[in-house]
Amino acid sequence: MSDTLLQQLDDDGVLLLTLNRPKKKNAFNKEQWLAFRDALVAASENPRVACVVITGAGSDFSSGVDLNDFSDADGEHPFEVSAKALVDFDKPVVSAAKGVAVGGGATLLLHTDVVYVGHSLRLRFPFTALGLVPEWGSSYQLQAIIGARKAAEIMYTSEWLNAEKAVDLGIASASFDDDLLLDKAMEKAREIAQWPISSLVETKKLMRSVHRAAIHSAMGGETEGMARLAGSAENIEAVVAIMEKRKPDFKQFRR
């Protein structure tokens, strides 16, 4: 067990996973990725778990990657291990996101089955603004959920989305006051969890089977693209600009 991820299983078969690095806006470090992967694997094997709810501690869902803890790892990176675990998870997942949901905090939501958001939501797929490419299979999954043209606009512009727009686009299922958000998500999860787990698993398997191969293919392409662009002059400029709290100057690389 890791204190970066809190786990609570109730008598109805709903497992609540809480990303627990609130001082870092629940940014994922390597420990948290592995804890998240381990929790999903255990939940898949646990006959008491019928549905999972994912939320964030404090005021935010997740700001994505913790850049202070993204060094190379031996073998497959915990980031990729965690992403694959969620993509292949075989039971229903409900997410409850408020505040910041950026990068991995946004792409994670695309792989949950029911997405509830708080009115404070600030959602962003920031990859072009960082001089990088999408991650967690989002280059495919966002298109599959909202359509290619809308997805392209969002990915190319790295625009911020509020709760209303997230619902209008179909990224989120519904929005609620922040104070009611988790209760609404748990209520929906318990509604799901009342049915036979075998039926839920088989139903999710059928609904996801048409997408799973494409998502894994997208993840492979994203890994290759990320390897080409990470550490590029544009990527470095984007990161330095964030640290210096200024607008990046990408035009300097077009001369």
Residue 71 pLDDT: 59
Query: 114: Cβ–Cβ under 8 A, 6 or more apart, which residues?
Result: 92, 93, 94, 95, 173, 185, 188, 192
Residue reference for tokens 């929005």:
175
Give CA–CA dist 112/216, Å, rounded: 16
Find the mean pLDDT for residues 194-214: 96
Percent of the chain with pLDDT over 70: 97
Amino acid at 95: S
For residue 28, give the DSSP letter.
Answer: B
Domain 1-175+199-254 has CATH 3.40.109.10: no
User: How far apart are alpha carbons 254 and 19 in whole angstroms?
Assistant: 40
Helix-strand-coil split of the chain, %, nearest 5: 55, 15, 30
Encoding tokens for residue 247?
Answer: 């607008």
DSSP H helical segments within the chain, as ranges? 30-45, 78-87, 104-107, 138-146, 148-157, 163-169, 178-193, 197-229, 233-244
Give residue-wise pLDDT tens across range 59-117. 999 999 887 765 565 667 788 889 999 999 999 999 999 999 999 999 999 999 999 99
Name the residue ranges covered by the structural domains of the chain: 1-175+199-254
- At 79 the pLDDT is 81
Q: Judge if pTM exceeds 0.75.
A: yes
- pLDDT confidence of residue 69: 67
Q: Average model confidence (pLDDT) for the chain? A: 95
**Closest to 191 in 3D by CA, of 104, 99, 116:** 116
Query: What percentage of residues in the chain have a pLDDT greater than 90?
Result: 90
What's the average model confidence in pLDDT over 145-173? Answer: 98
pLDDT for res 75: 62
